[in-house]
Amino acid sequence: MSPRLRWMLVALGVLVVGIPLAILFMRTHERTTTTEQLPPQGEAAYNPLYVLGQALRADGVRVTSLPRVDLQQMALQPGDTLVLLQDSAELAPSTAQALKAWVARGGHLVVRTPPIVAKDIDRNGALLDAFGVNSVGFDRQCQPFHVRDDPQHVEFCRGRRFEVLPSDEVRIERRWGDDSTGLVYARLRHAQGTLDVAADLEFMQGQVRRSGITDADSKPGGVDGLHDKAHRDLARQVLHPNYGKGTMWLVYASRPPSLWNRAFYLGWPVWLPLLLALLGWLWARAQRLGSEVPSPAAERRSLLEHVRASGELLLRFGQAPLLYAAVQRAFLQRLRRRAPSAAALEGDDRVHAIATLLHWPHSRVQTALHPPAAGDTAGLRDRIRLLIQMRNLL
C-alpha cells in the first residue's frame, strides 16, 4: 500500500468518526453565559464606604478615606463633610468637643447611633451627648420608606433609634420617626454647621444586605447598598448641606487585613509545603526513644534448671553412664591442670596419688573413680557428688 493511499484512508476514518461526534455534541450541548459575582478585592474588601467614595469622585467631589478619626491628619475646614461610620461612643471627650466646634464653624457631620454590643449595655458617647442626642433605652425597629416601585421598602433596621433633647444651641431642621418609638433620622442645626444623625448608615455602604431582612432570612452574597435607587437618593439628601463645597471625609471604621492574616490565608501554597518539609526534617533528626531492633526474648528458665532437666531426661531413658562419664571427664580435666603427675598414672597408682593429694581415704577415691552398676541410681548420685567434691578440692 502506497503512503498516499494510507493517508487517504486515515483521513477518511477521521471524517467518518469525527463528523457524527461533532453533530452529537452540537445537538446535546447548548452555549450559555453565566455571570458570577466575585468577592471584593483590595480596599473594597475592608472599606464599606469604598463605593460611595468612588461615586463621589466620579461626581467631582474631593474625597479622603480614613480608618479612624485623626483630627491632626484631617485638618477639618468649614464646608467639609465628615461621614463617621466609626462607633461614636469610642471617641474621647476632647475629640467630641473638637468636632462640635468644627460643626459650629460650618462643618457637616454625619454620624450614626452606637451599635448594640450587648443587650444589657447601653452606650451613648460623648459626641452625641454634646449635641443633646440620646440613644440609651431605644431598640432597633425598621422604618417604612415609601418607594414607588417597592411599596414594602424599609430602612434603618439594624440601627438603634434615638431622641433629641431640647437645647438652646441645637435646633431640629428635619426629623424622621415618632416620639413613641424614637427617631431614625434627624438633621440638627448648630451655629453655622449641620449634624445628621441616623440609626444606621447601611444605605451608604457597599456590599451590605438589603434593609429589612435579617441575617437568618437573607440570602448569601449581599446587595450593594448604592445599587438601590432609593439608597442613592437617600445618600444624596443626607450629603446635601456641604455637597461640593469642600472635602468629603469618609471614616469607614475598619482596618485592612494584617500581614499575618494575608500570609496565612493567601500564602498557604508556600508555607504549608515548607511546614511539612520542616516537620519531616525534625522527625528524621529527632532522637529515637527506643531501639530499632526488637529486644531479645527473655529466658524463662535458669541454666541450673536446664541442666537438671537434661539430667532427669537422660536418667528416664537409661542414659545414666553418660552423666557419670561427663562428670568424671570434668574432674580429670582439672586434675591434668592442677596435678599432671597424678593424672598421668593409671589404676591403683592414680587412686593412691589422688587420695594422697586430697587427704581422702583410698577406698573413697576408688569408689568415686569406678562407674556404678546399671540401674543403681543411688550409687550414681553418690559417685557424682564425690567427683564434684574432689574437683572442687583441686
In the β-sheet with 247-251, what is the strand arrangement from edge to edge? 62-66, 247-251, 81-84, 108-112, 193-198, 182-190, 170-178
The answer, yes or no, to whether residue 209 has pLDDT greater than 70, is no
Asked whether 48 and 209 are in contact (CB, 8 A), the reply is no
Q: What is the pLDDT of residues 245-265, one digit of tens each?
A: 889 999 987 665 678 887 888
Q: How much is the pLDDT for 216?
A: 34
d(CA 127, CA 114): 11
Q: How much is the pLDDT for 57?
A: 92
Is 13 exposed, middle or buried, given 0-12, 13-18 or 19+ CB atoms closer than 10 A? exposed
Q: How much is the pLDDT for 290?
A: 67
Buried residues in 257-290 as b, exposed as e (16+ CB within 10 A):
eeeeeeeeeeeeeeeeeeeeeeeeeeeeeeeeee
d(CA 74, CA 64): 9
The three cell numbers of residue 170 are 441645637
Q: How much is the pLDDT for 299?
A: 65
d(CA 391, CA 331): 5
Is 76 exposed, middle or buried, given 0-12, 13-18 or 19+ CB atoms closer than 10 A? buried
DSSP letter for each residue of 52-91:
HHHHHHHTT-EEEEESS--HHHH---TT-EEEE-S-GGGS
Q: Which residues pair with 172 in a beta bridge?
A: 188
Q: How much is the pLDDT for 264?
A: 86
Q: How much is the pLDDT for 224?
A: 53
Helix spans in 105-168 (H): 126-130
The answer, yes or no, to whether residue 24 has pLDDT greater than 70, is yes
The answer, yes or no, to whether residue 345 has pLDDT greater than 50, is yes
Is 79 exposed, middle or buried, given 0-12, 13-18 or 19+ CB atoms closer than 10 A? middle
How far is CA 211 from each of CA 42, 174, 176, 214, 361, rounded to the nearest angstrom? 25, 22, 17, 8, 125
Asked whether 322 and 378 are in contact (CB, 8 A), the reply is no
Q: Which residues pair with 365 in a beta bridge?
A: none
133 Cβ contact partners less than 8 Å away, ≥ 6 residues apart: 113, 124, 162, 163, 164, 165, 186, 188, 197
How far is CA 322 from each of CA 72, 137, 348, rounded to the nearest angstrom? 112, 111, 24
Q: Where does the pLDDT of residue 103 fall: very low under 50, low under 70, confident under 90, or very high at 90 and above? A: very high
Three-state secondary-structure class, residue 290: coil
142 Cβ contact partners less than 8 Å away, ≥ 6 residues apart: 154, 155, 156, 157, 211, 212
